[in-house]
Structure 1
Amino acid sequence: MSTPPLTGTLCTRATIAADLRALGVEPGETLLVHSSLSSLGWVCGGRVAVVQALLDALGPEGTLVVPTHTGNNSDPEQWGNPPVPEEWWPAIRESTPAYDPLTTPSGGIGVIPEAVRTWPGALRSAHPQTSFAAVGPAAAALTAGHAQDCRLGERSPLARLEKAGARVLLLGAGFDSCTAFHLAEYRIEAPEADEGRAVMTPLGRRWEVVRETSISSDRFDELGADYERDRPVIRGRVGAAQVRLFPVAEAVAYAQRWLPVHRPPEV
């Protein structure tokens, strides 16, 4: 019995780059990309072709940035998808490998960021849970100095992206993936929580606990719907994927007004 031929949208490096340019991606700009490979259709060359197309659209003067988060480097007591038995917690805290920007794989954010992380010339920020990787002339400036106690706040690449006039590209991803909204959480009244993770120090690997602003993507889909209702968001398609393009700074400012009203901190 033969396998039926594939149907749907065929994407190549050239067609993806052309769609990005038609959408409004500009040579020389800085782009923070959240992505879903499967949303594009059948991509000849897979994740590598998508990264090549993004770099083609940005040109040699543009910079590509992606989240390369490592959520598994966290306290197992907080895990819920799936949870692990309580008796395992001490062993996990003792054995989780320390974060290494060069070797620790990203997780839970799709396969395209992992391709960027390992791209020739890519640089990655130092936070053990919420790092970003970048390729391009601005990569060093954007990824340097990511504070260990500031996941997505003023001393993270998000604030540098905002200052640099970067834009967000949701490439088949929803607003619930938009990390830029998290920067607003650091600028409003927000609770704090202890966060555990494995880190490397001059004396070797250790498990550390730091006090951090609590962050959550809860209701980001509603926030995004209101944002694109009220503000100009470029919408279109790349391959079969629905795509949105908008400035980091505008998204953060809108979220900073929206969150205290629609998602006030718990008392």
Structure 2
Amino acid sequence: MSTPPPTGPLVTRGTMAAQLRELGVRPGETLLVHSSLSSLGWVCGGPVAVVRALLDALAPGGTLVVPTQTGDLSDPALWANPAVPEEWWTTIRTAMPPYDPLVTPSRGVGVLPETVRTWPGALRSAHPQTSFAALGPRAAEIVGDHAPDCRLGERSPLARLEALGARVLLLGAGYATCTAFHLAEYRVPSPLVRVGRPGPVGWETVTEVSISSERFDELGHDFERDRPAGRPVVRGRIGAAEARLFPVADAVAYAERWLALHRPREEEFPHPPPLSAPFDRGDPRL
């Protein structure tokens, strides 16, 4: 059976860089990118070309940031899609290698973050499940001192991105991927959860703020609809992909108000603190 020809549009480093500039990406700014490579079309040069186009649009002096999460470094009892047999759980907890920012691959966030993570000069934060990688002059400032018990809160790169005036670029990705919304979860009443993971000296359990992206698509829709005329979510096309560009600080501030209205109050959460939600171990190549 013959392989069907590729579908377009044909996208190159140059066309992407030009479209990013047209969208409003500025030289010297700091950009947090959530992406779907497959949504762009037929990319000449694949993820390397996309990273180069982003760096071209940010040059000179800009900083590129991506999530490089490793949620599979978690309790196998909570894995889904696929799950593993219960009789394997103890062995997995004992044998799972601990997080190493230099070698542990990202999972479930797409091929572009993995390309950035392995790029010469890239720096990566220290959290064993929710790390970020960055390229550029502000990389160390953004990813340094990511607390091991603060996935996406005040002691994470998200808070630094907010303080630095960074913007979010959703590149073929929806609001469900927008990690900036998680920072708001640390600022509204949220339950704590017990998080199991491999540690430097064996299996460890830490207490963390509960986070969930379950309603982020709805949150993002309302955020985009309610933006004031002077600060809209900028929308455009990069190749075949729909792109959205907006400040981290705007997204966090809106999410704080939205979550306070749409999430249960603290006293409604079950006690004692529940275990973490299931971890979807879907295709990491998206």
**TM-score grouping bracket, smaller chain normalisation:** over 0.9
1:215 is paired with a residue whose SS is coil
2:210 pairs, out of 207, 214, 224, with 214
Is residue 65 of structure 2 the alignment partner of residue 65 of structure 1? yes
RMSD in angstroms over aligned alpha carbons?
1.1
> Deviation of residue 21 (structure 1)?
0.3
> Deviation of residue 2 (structure 1)?
6.1
Partners of 1:86 and 1:195 in 2: how far apart? 18
Structure 2 counterpart of 1:86: 86
Structure 2 counterpart of 1:146: 146
Q: Answer yes or no: is the 8 Å Cα contact 1:60–1:136 preserved in 2.
A: no
2:168 aligned partner, one-letter code = V
Quick one: percent identity of the two aligned structures?
Answer: 73
Q: Answer yes or no: is the 8 Å Cα contact 1:13–1:53 preserved in 2.
A: yes
Question: After TM superposition, where is structure 1 displaced by more than 4 Å over at least 4 residues in a row?
Answer: 1-4
Structure 1 counterpart of 2:277: none
Structure 1 counterpart of 2:257: 257
> Deviation of residue 252 (structure 1)?
0.3
> Deviation of residue 87 (structure 1)?
1.5
Partners of 1:263 and 1:15 in 2: how far apart? 42
Structure 2 counterpart of 1:225: 221
> Deviation of residue 35 (structure 1)?
0.2
1:230 aligned partner, one-letter code = D
Counting only pairs closer than 5 Å after superposition, residues 97-246 of structure 1 correspond to structure 2 as 97-200=97-200, 205-231=201-227, 232-246=232-246
Task: Mark the runs of 5 or more structure 2 residues left unpaired by the alignment.
Answer: 270-286
Partners of 2:4 and 2:177 in 1: how far apart? 34
1:127 is paired with a residue whose SS is coil
1:135-165 deviations in Å (ceiling 9; x for gaps) = 0000000000000000000000000000000
Partners of 1:142 and 1:2 in 2: how far apart? 48
Partners of 1:5 and 1:154 in 2: how far apart? 48
2:80 is paired with a residue whose SS is coil
Is residue 2 of structure 2 the alignment partner of residue 6 of structure 1? no
> Deviation of residue 60 (structure 1)?
3.0
> Deviation of residue 4 (structure 1)?
4.8
Partners of 1:77 and 1:194 in 2: how far apart? 13
Task: Mark the runs of 5 or more structure 1 residues left unpaired by the alignment.
Answer: none
TM-score by length of 2: 0.90
Structure 1 counterpart of 2:95: 95
Q: Answer yes or no: is the 8 Å Cα contact 1:35–1:173 preserved in 2.
A: yes
Partners of 2:216 and 2:248 in 1: how far apart? 15
2:120 aligned partner, one-letter code = P
Q: Answer yes or no: is the 8 Å Cα contact 1:73–1:99 preserved in 2.
A: yes
Partners of 2:133 and 2:157 in 1: how far apart? 9
TM-score by length of 1: 0.96
Aligned length: 263
1:232-252 deviations in Å (ceiling 9; x for gaps) = 100000000000000000000
Is residue 52 of structure 2 the alignment partner of residue 52 of structure 1? yes
Q: Answer yes or no: is the 8 Å Cα contact 2:7–2:41 preserved in 1.
A: no
2:22 is paired with a residue whose SS is helix
